[in-house]
């Protein structure tokens, strides 16, 4: 019998992130150059501050700011702050339910440190789960 798959078995541990003060222009460049749809946003010490997605980028322009002003603004003004997270030991089926029930495409995988803040250690996307399930089926 196969052991239960966990988030830690499946997540992408290469967290592509930026800081809250990163300009919108730089954040969009990171999205494009890494061919990803969202960045993990961290604060000064490196704990989770939010997520910046393509949807957030589009929302930035809908605020009525001119292009240059928007592009120079910090990504922290546009990121999603209420991020749904999970720990690496969580069962993969539970993580899949979190994604489905919250209608989101990715979870930030975190670990809690002594200071009570959470620190990103990976990202788990719908694509990661489907890929893993396909591998397990062979």
Looking up residue 58, the CATH number of its domain turns out to be 3.10.580.10
| Contact between residue 11 and residue 125 where contact means Cβ atoms under 8 Å apart | no
In this structure, is residue 59 part of a structural domain? yes
Kindly report the pTM of this predicted structure. 0.88
> Taking residues 94-103, what's their average pLDDT?
96
Q: What is the pLDDT of residues 54-74, one digit of tens each?
A: 999 988 877 766 788 888 999
Containing structural domain, residue 77: 7-136
Strand boundaries in the chain, DSSP class E: 17-19, 38-42, 48-53, 85-86, 106-112, 118-125
| Contact between residue 80 and residue 114 where contact means Cβ atoms under 8 Å apart | no
Considering its fold, how many domains does the chain have in total?
A: 1
In this structure, is residue 1 part of a structural domain? no
């Amino acid at each position: 019998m196969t052991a239960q798959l966990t988030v830690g078995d499946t997540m992408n541990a290469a967290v592509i992130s930026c800081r809250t003060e990163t300009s919108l222009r730089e954040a969009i460049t990171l999205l494009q150059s890494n061919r990803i749809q969202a960045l993990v946003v961290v604060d000064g010490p490196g704990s989770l501050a939010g997520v910046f997605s393509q949807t957030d980028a589009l929302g930035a322009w809908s605020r009525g700011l001119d292009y240059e002003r928007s592009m120079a603004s910090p990504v922290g003004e546009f990121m999603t702050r209420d991020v749904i997270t999970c720990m690496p030991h969580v069962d993969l089926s539970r993580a899949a339910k979190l994604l489905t029930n919250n209608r989101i495409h990715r979870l930030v995988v975190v670990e809690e440190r002594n200071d009570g803040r959470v620190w990103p250690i990976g990202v788990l996307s719908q694509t990661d789960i489907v890929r893993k399930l396909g591998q397990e089926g062979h």
